[in-house]
């Protein structure tokens, strides 16, 4: 009865039945303690554990895991040390607790002392070990060398940035399952080697196991990062053929891919056909409209989201505030910021504050932006470089050199190697006829700070074109510059604005 109630999400009834039992054995106790843990009633689970008249290894292991997950690693170790007899599961639980709380070296020491190790012991140690090479050496000498252990080791190498070691290990595996391929494709994507990830995906289709939903999600993420719409469409076709089109996580990745590649019509179409949507689905479509300047539509989608049973999260509000900033909706931005704090009780992060400061700054509300920073300080938040940078950008546009100087110096206090800030300050001084520009450039030179050239790329007819700032090597450079001149002229006709301000925002090579 207890087990049945727990399986059917009726933990209260399970506890009631347990309390009414005239006799209780260790299985009864473990069931109710484990059930309480499953449903997050950790305090009550601890109370019942203390009342237990008889315990076995499973009883102790449950509570060791509870304390470990809660960050109470000292109490977990006390329980572990008090155990009259320990089985391999108890050792594994203690090792996992140390790893999850960042004590990898202690976990490794405990691992070395284990009287016996099973497959789970090796898997957890390799998965959590930041001393990945040592774990690799352990595994080479151990009989538990299987696909999962090697895959965890590949993940470990990617985690510490040793991409070549991870790839070499993958290539040396005698057998590879889908997870091994997925881990390598994902790792390449996360380490800015997405093109290699796509090539590996092509190999997987030709000679490896069948791709699964995780494969397609990783590939779509790479297409998003590289803005390769044609590869994204090809992947979409593969997904439909493989029957993964109705899986929420895959559909979310497709919405994101189309949005980041600039095709909002396809993004909306995919979103509209989703049989069910989670918070990531809504975030993806709201983010897409926000980043393409369709702030009003982004806010409409947010209001539609609020009418569903999906609650917004901090990322949702970040997209909403970004939409307000790009669309110049100052009052709505303040409204939604307050909604986040006082309706949904979500704590603002650095990114949320940056959006609000950027929103105020875009429209010359420098005093309001400064007041907002004072409010941020009053909330106990440190003002990061990104927020000061947003304020500096606003001061540059609206020629507020006094506040701009304060903001720029604050950024340089935090990021003394930020070349862009030196150049913005120098430009502001020059435009106001001040001689401080030379001092700023001399200071930049003395600190050894060099300006990195800006880089952008675009895809036309399935061919990618890369441009560096100041680079005129493209064969159609003259044609491109002439086209930009025509665009400037058209913009000035439609939206009269000083040409210098336009050139500040769009740099001609």
Q: Say whether pTM exceeds 0.85.
A: no
Tally Cβ neighbours within 10 Å of residue 16. 12
For 497, the token pair is 């604005």
The candidate with the shortest Cα–Cα distance to 212, out of 187, 255, 177, is 177
Question: How far, in Å, CA of 91 to CA of 89, rounded?
Answer: 5
Quick one: pLDDT at residue 128?
55
Question: How far, in Å, CA of 150 to CA of 154, rounded?
Answer: 6
Quick one: pLDDT at residue 142?
59
Which helix (DSSP H) or strand (DSSP E) does residue 76 occupy? Answer: helix 73-82
Which helix (DSSP H) or strand (DSSP E) does residue 463 occupy? Answer: strand 463-468
Quick one: pLDDT at residue 24?
85
Backbone angles phi, psi at 227, to 5 degrees: 55, 45
Q: Which residue has the tokens 């950024």?
A: 411
DSSP letter, residue 461: T
Backbone angles phi, psi at 395, to 5 degrees: -65, -35
Quick one: pLDDT at residue 138?
60
Tally Cβ neighbours within 10 Å of residue 36. 25
Kindly report the CA angle at 164 between 211 and 145, in degrees rounded to 5?
A: 65
Burial class (CB within 10 angstroms; exposed 0-12, middle 13-18, buried 19+) of 412: buried
pLDDT tens-place values along the chain, 509 residues long:
888 888 877 888 888 898 898 888 888 888 888 888 887 788 888 888 888 888 888 888 888 888 888 788 888 898 898 888 888 888 989 988 888 887 877 887 887 788 876 656 666 666 555 575 666 656 665 555 567 777 877 887 887 788 998 899 899 888 889 989 999 999 999 888 999 999 999 999 998 899 999 999 999 999 998 888 889 999 999 999 999 988 999 999 999 999 999 899 999 999 999 989 999 999 999 999 998 989 999 999 999 999 999 999 999 999 999 999 888 899 999 999 999 989 988 888 888 888 888 888 888 888 888 888 887 777 777 788 888 888 888 888 888 888 888 888 888 888 777 777 777 888 887 777 776 667 767 776 766 666 666 777 777 776 777 777 777 778 888 888 899 889 988 888 877 655 445 444 444 33
For 409, the token pair is 């110096």
Contacts of 182 (CB under 8 A, 6+ apart): 212, 214, 215, 218
Quick one: pLDDT at residue 457?
73
Cβ burial 214-231 (10 Å sphere, 16+ → b, else e): bbbbbbbbbbbbbbbbeb
DSSP string, 331-397: HHHHHHHHHHHHTS-PPP-HHHHHHHHHHHHHTT-HHHHHHHHHHHHHTT----HHHHHHHHHHHHH
Question: How far, in Å, CA of 185 to CA of 216, rounded?
Answer: 10
The candidate with the shortest Cα–Cα distance to 263, out of 253, 252, 255, is 255
Quick one: pLDDT at residue 506?
44
Cβ burial 321-334 (10 Å sphere, 16+ → b, else e): bbbbbbbebbebbb
DSSP letter, residue 216: H
Quick one: pLDDT at residue 468?
77
Q: Is 296 within 8 Å of 312 (Cβ atoms)?
A: no
Start-to-end CA span in the chain (Å): 75
CA 489 to chain centre: 40
Compute the radius of gyration of the chain from its Cα atoms: 28
DSSP string, 485-496: HHHHHHHHHHS-
C-alpha distances in Å from residue 316, one per residue of 282, 293, 302, 311, 343: 8, 16, 8, 9, 14
For 296, the token pair is 């009003």
Q: Do the strands 455-460 and 463-468 form a parallel or antiparallel pair, or are they unpaired?
A: antiparallel
For 141, the token pair is 């000498």
Quick one: pLDDT at residue 156?
78
Tally Cβ neighbours within 10 Å of residue 14. 23
Q: Which residue has the tokens 């901090």?
A: 314
Question: How far, in Å, CA of 383 to CA of 410, rounded?
Answer: 9
Quick one: pLDDT at residue 507?
42
């Amino acid at each position: 009865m207890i087990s049945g109630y727990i399986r059917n999400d009726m933990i209260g009834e399970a506890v009631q039945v347990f309390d009414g039992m005239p006799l209780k054995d260790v299985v009864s106790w473990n069931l109710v303690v484990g059930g309480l843990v499953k449903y997050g009633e950790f305090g009550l689970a601890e109370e019942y554990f203390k009342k237990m008249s008889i315990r076995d290894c499973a009883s102790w292991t449950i509570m060791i895991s509870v304390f470990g997950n809660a960050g109470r690693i000292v109490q977990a170790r006390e329980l572990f040390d008090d155990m009259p007899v320990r089985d391999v599961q108890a050792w594994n639980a203690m090792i996992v607790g140390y790893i999850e709380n960042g004590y990898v070296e202690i976990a490794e020491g405990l691992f070395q002392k284990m009287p016996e190790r099973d497959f789970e012991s090796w898997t957890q140690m390799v998965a959590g070990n930041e001393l990945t090479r040592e774990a690799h050496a352990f595994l080479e000498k151990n009989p538990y060398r299987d696909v999962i252990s090697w895959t965890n080791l590949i993940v470990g190498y990617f985690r510490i940035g040793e991409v070549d070691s991870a790839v070499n290990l993958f290539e040396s595996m005698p057998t590879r399952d889908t997870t091994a391929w997925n881990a390598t494709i994902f790792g390449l994507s996360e380490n800015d080697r997405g093109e290699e990830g796509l090539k590996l995906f092509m190999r997987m289709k030709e000679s490896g196991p069948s791709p699964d939903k995780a494969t397609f999600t990783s590939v779509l993420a790479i297409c998003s990062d590289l803005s390769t719409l044609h590869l994204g469409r090809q992947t979409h076709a593969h997904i439909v053929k493989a029957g993964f089109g109705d899986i929420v996580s895959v559909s979310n990745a497709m919405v994101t891919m189309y949005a980041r590649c600039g095709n909002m019509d396809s993004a909306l179409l995919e979103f509209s056909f989703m049989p069910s949507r989670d918070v990531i689905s809504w975030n993806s479509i709201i983010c897409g409209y926000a980043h393409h300047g369709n702030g009003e539509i982004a806010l409409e989608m947010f209001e539609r989201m609020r009418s569903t049973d999906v609650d917004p999260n901090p990322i949702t509000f970040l997209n909403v505030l970004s939409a307000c900033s790009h669309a110049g909706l100052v009052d709505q931005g303040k409204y939604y910021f307050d909604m986040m704090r006082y309706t949904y009780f979500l704590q603002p992060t650095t990114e949320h504050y940056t959006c609000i400061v950027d929103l105020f700054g875009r429209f010359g509300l420098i005093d309001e932006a400064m007041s907002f920073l004072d409010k941020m300080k009053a909330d106990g938040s440190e003002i990061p470089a990104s927020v000061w940078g947003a304020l500096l950008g606003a001061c540059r546009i609206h020629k507020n050199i006094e506040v701009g100087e304060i903001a720029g110096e604050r950024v340089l206090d935090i990021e003394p190697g930020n070349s862009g800030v030196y150049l913005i300050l120098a430009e502001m001084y020059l435009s106001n006829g001040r001689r401080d520009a030379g001092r700023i450039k001399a200071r930049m030179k003395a600190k050894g700070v060099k300006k990195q050239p800006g880089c952008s790329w675009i895809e036309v007819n399935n061919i990618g074109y890369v441009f560096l700032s100041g680079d005129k090597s493209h064969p159609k450079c003259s044609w491109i510059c002439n086209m930009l001149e025509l665009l400037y002229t058209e913009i000035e006709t439609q939206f009269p604005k000083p040409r210098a301000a336009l050139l500040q925002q769009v740099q001609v090579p």
